[in-house]
Amino acid sequence: MVGQIIFAVLLLAISALAFVKYSALVRNIRLGKAEKISGDGAKRLKNMMLVAFGQSKMFKRPVAAILHLFVYVAFVITQVELIEIVIDGISGQHRFFWGLWKENTLLAGFYTFIISFIEILSVLALVATFAFLSRRNLLKIPRFRKSELNGWPFLDANIILYAEIVLVACIFTMNSADMAMHKNEYGFAVSGLLSGIWGSASEGSLEVAERIGWWGHILVVFAFLAYLPYSKHLHIMLAFPNTYFARINAKGEMANMESIQKEVASMFNPSQETSTTTEIPKFGVSDVFDLNRTQLLAAYTCTECGRCTASCPANLTGKKLSPRKIMMDVRDRADEIGKNIDANKTEFIKADQKDKVSKLTADNYDDGKSLFDYISNEELHACTNCNACVEACPVLINPLDIITEMRRNLILEQSVSPDSWNAMFNTVENNGAAWAFSSDERAKWAKEFNA
């Protein structure tokens, strides 16, 4: 009974903590602008099933993909055993499903098969975990050694891998000790081989070992649930909505700015009414409030794998731009705003509202900072709009959309752009094209060329 009470208290505490943390995460994503999601729903569902569930884009790098698949499938299938552990913890029973099915040969065999399959997957996941630790810490693959991964991001990646080792160790401690206690009654594949290590251990020792494995397993799971909102491993959950809501139009297609589109349309058709609003539109993006929610969702989905940065021609030629860092910076800025709102830092209430409200919200937030405090002009100007980062991402994240919108803000709101760009802008304005020749000269050249 004491064990049941402790388990129930822990379960409720972790559930409450998870609710608070995941609610804050949703709030941070909702800092962005609402967006109408249109397009072929069937195509979106197909993307989600192939890319998020099927891991299709991972297999462009087969070795890493297979290793990742071991961990991914083990994580999914292990939830079956976790369900039984939760039921046992609440009810105080031992192996609830086995007790329910052991008299039925077919169901008992199915139970043994499932747990044995989980054990085999756990061994494969353990192999993959050591491989990932080696890739990050011994082989020092370049995309894992970029400056944006210094400090917490590098530690975060290792923490989960270490936790995976502990989790697998607990699974086999629990199952092998249980097998030894029950004279291999369950018939589990891997634990049946390991049960011999307990030799002539007393029944009391075996029971203690099984309980250590059982509690260790569930405590690692509880810790993981509480830790996940702080980790890049949020992609375990967010990859599914992100791939569903990801843009399905052509990768090179840029979104039009509605206010400019209307003005240009009225120039070609004077009879068409222009906007009657007197409010001056804002061009591009300067902070997370200007991004849409799917872009913020993408920032929180980022796995920090670095495939985008490893594919970026600007980064490969030594320029400062790293698409991965762009996504991490957006997420960090959203986290900063969320924490300030949670702490109700009233000094960040907009000046014209300080006397009217006493609670800091997204609507009245102004801390004098923006995304440009995280992302430099040099990074934004280095992008070639080649879409290599978009193509490389295994979960359909689009850093280029954010880069483009921030550059629009630099140019149209702040009048900040390189001299070479300004020269081109002037040429387009004066000649209607990027070339320093008038339309008459170009027409003459074309006529002579076709003669």
- How far is the CA of 50 from the CAs of 37, 46, 78, 229, 315, in angstroms? 20, 6, 21, 25, 29
Residue 404 φ/ψ, nearest 5 degrees: -60, -45
d(CA 372, CA 375): 5
How high is the pLDDT of residue 313?
Answer: 96
How high is the pLDDT of residue 346?
Answer: 92
How high is the pLDDT of residue 129?
Answer: 94
d(CA 213, CA 173): 5
pLDDT, tens digit only, all 451 positions of the chain: 788 899 999 999 999 999 999 999 999 999 999 988 887 889 999 999 999 998 899 888 888 889 999 998 888 888 888 899 999 999 988 889 888 888 888 999 999 999 999 999 999 999 999 999 999 899 888 889 889 999 999 999 999 999 999 999 999 999 999 999 888 888 898 988 888 888 888 889 999 999 999 999 999 999 999 999 999 999 999 999 999 999 888 877 888 887 777 777 777 776 666 555 567 788 899 999 999 999 999 999 999 999 999 999 999 999 999 999 999 999 999 999 999 999 999 999 998 898 888 999 999 999 999 999 999 999 999 999 999 999 999 999 999 999 999 999 999 899 888 888 888 888 887 877 777 777 777 777 777 777 6
How high is the pLDDT of residue 329?
Answer: 97
Domain boundaries, the chain: 2-30+61-245, 284-439
What pTM did the predictor assign? 0.89
Q: Is 294 helix (H, G, I), strand (E, B) or coil?
A: helix
Question: From the CB of residue 107, how many other CB atoms can be counted at a distance below 10 Å?
Answer: 14
Cβ-Cβ contacts under 8 Å for 307 (sequence gap 6 or more): 61, 143, 392, 393, 394
Cβ-Cβ contacts under 8 Å for 23 (sequence gap 6 or more): none
How high is the pLDDT of residue 381?
Answer: 94
CATH 1.10.1060 at 284-439, yes or no: yes
- How far is the CA of 375 from the CAs of 93, 270, 326, 330, in angstroms? 55, 40, 7, 9
Tell me which residue of 286, 302, 450, 277 sits closest to 389, measured CA to CA: 302
Contacts 24+ apart (CB under 8 A), 379-385: 379/320, 379/321, 379/322, 379/325, 379/326, 380/321, 380/406, 380/407, 380/410, 381/407, 381/417, 381/418, 381/421, 382/314, 382/319, 382/320, 382/321, 383/314, 383/321, 383/407, 384/313, 384/314, 385/252
